[in-house]
A and B are shown apart, each in its own frame.
Chain A
């Protein structure tokens, strides 16, 4: 059985179709097509981080917190999403999909491996980086997807301004990374 799948993995059509990496440009074209279809169907572009705020609110509620008087969650639509829970929130399901789509891709290429943390600096980087991204994305109303890719596709000038400020951040981050997290 194992041999069958090993031979399958070596098959040139299988490799082309399901395991060899696509070029960056091929990825760009495919992402764009799905992004456009997404906009046509849902009347809104792709976003990732909006759902994270809901995840945070649900976790906060689990430990006894209350976000009902927060200005951010005051709108009727956000209230409805929070009440509906994880399994009824399209944005959350889409993020779950990204996770499983990536897992599927690595498994079909037979490249999955659990990559453990091996240094304390990685823990610090993950915590600091995660917090900063979460906070920043809420201020900017999106991440590289919502505030950049989707905004720019939507002909919003904000996308270019966001890109400029993010480049400043990436430059500072690169300096910090080479100095403290290597």
Chain B
């Protein structure tokens, strides 16, 4: 993608003529970044002192946050952009992520000999359907989903700090209602692990068939809406 190359620095020669305000003198933020690295390592040592598991969670969190910000990855945009602008480049990237992760998880699950088969498998019930719609509306309005909101707090968005606070309040409210009301719909809801339900062969056909179908649909959708695949 050519966009990424030019996204942070203006090209040396300007083709578009326009009036320009004189540039403000900038102060580099890199020293603060280097300082932060020290702080993050110190915190890592602190967590290591509590337990190595905690320190590992810390490292994974940092990695996820760094990657999300560096690549401007946004799960919200993968659902929203097709609805609003017709762009699907991020939707396609999410499909790539799902495909790679499926392969990796399959290896681990098979290697564990069945012990991890149901890890990450959720019940398909009414609460999930209602929750999906409610969550979908919320993330578009708030301009970011859970990972996106946390990441943007780190980027300095005051709006997302507010949104995070109410995300936490909503989570508590949801947790309360889940235990008091919604849980009963999940008792008989099926938890379907594809390889159990149809065997590995058909699971692969279904999983990658869906990924491929959505991928092709996404390309066509963008062509129709924006007149370009790029």
Contacts and interface: CB of A to CB of B under 8 A. Distances in A.
* Contact, chains A and B (beta carbon distance below 8 A): yes
Interface of A: 1-2, 5-6, 8-9, 15, 19-46, 48-49, 52-53, 55-57, 59-60, 67, 70-74, 87-88, 90-91, 93-117, 122-123, 125-145, 147-174, 176-178, 181
Contact of B96 (A25, A67, A99): A25
Interface in B168-222: 168-180, 182-183, 191-195, 197, 203, 207, 210
A168 B133 contact: yes
B170 A102 contact: no
Contacts, number: 556
Contacts of B138: 128-136, 169, 173
Nearest to A157: B192
Contacts of A141: 122-123, 127-128, 131
B128 A130 contact: no
B49 to A, nearest CB: 11
A-B pairs, 7 with minimum CB distance: A97-B61, A169-B136, A134-B170, A101-B65, A129-B142, A27-B71, A71-B179
A37 B60 CA distance: 9
A20 B28 CA distance: 15
Interface of B: 1, 4-5, 7-9, 26-33, 36-37, 40, 47, 50-51, 53-54, 56-73, 75-76, 79-80, 83-84, 89-90, 92-94, 96-98, 100-102, 104-106, 108-109, 112, 116, 119-124, 127-143, 145-160, 162-180, 182-183, 191-195, 197, 203, 207, 210
19 contacts: A6-B28, A20-B8, A21-B72, A26-B71, A34-B63, A93-B54, A104-B36, A110-B26, A111-B8, A125-B159, A126-B159, A128-B166, A136-B134, A138-B170, A158-B122, A158-B191, A168-B132, A170-B79, A171-B136
In terms of DSSP, what is the predominant structure of the interface of chain B? helix
Contact of B102 (A8, A26, A40, A153): A153
Given A100-B40, A132-B135, A172-B133, A126 B166 contact: yes
A103 B36 contact: yes
A98 to B, nearest CB: 4
A142 to B, nearest CB: 7
A122 B146 CA distance: 17
A19 B121 CA distance: 37
Given A103-B155, A131-B166, A144 B145 contact: yes
Nearest to B180: A71
A19 B5 CA distance: 11
Contact of B58 (A24, A93, A127): A93
Contact of A174 (B27, B66, B84, B169): B84
A94 B61 contact: yes
B141 A22 contact: no
A136 B167 contact: no
In terms of DSSP, what is the predominant structure of the interface of chain A? helix
Contacts of A122: 159
Contacts of A32: 96-97, 100-101, 104
A33 B60 CA distance: 11
Contacts of B60: 34, 37-38, 46, 94, 97
Contacts of A173: 80, 136-141
Contacts of B51: 88
Contact of A177 (B102, B140, B162, B180): B140
Contacts of B173: 56, 131, 134-135, 138
Given A114-B158, A139-B178, A177-B141, 10 more contacts: A6-B26, A15-B9, A21-B70, A46-B60, A55-B168, A107-B29, A136-B130, A137-B135, A155-B106, A157-B194
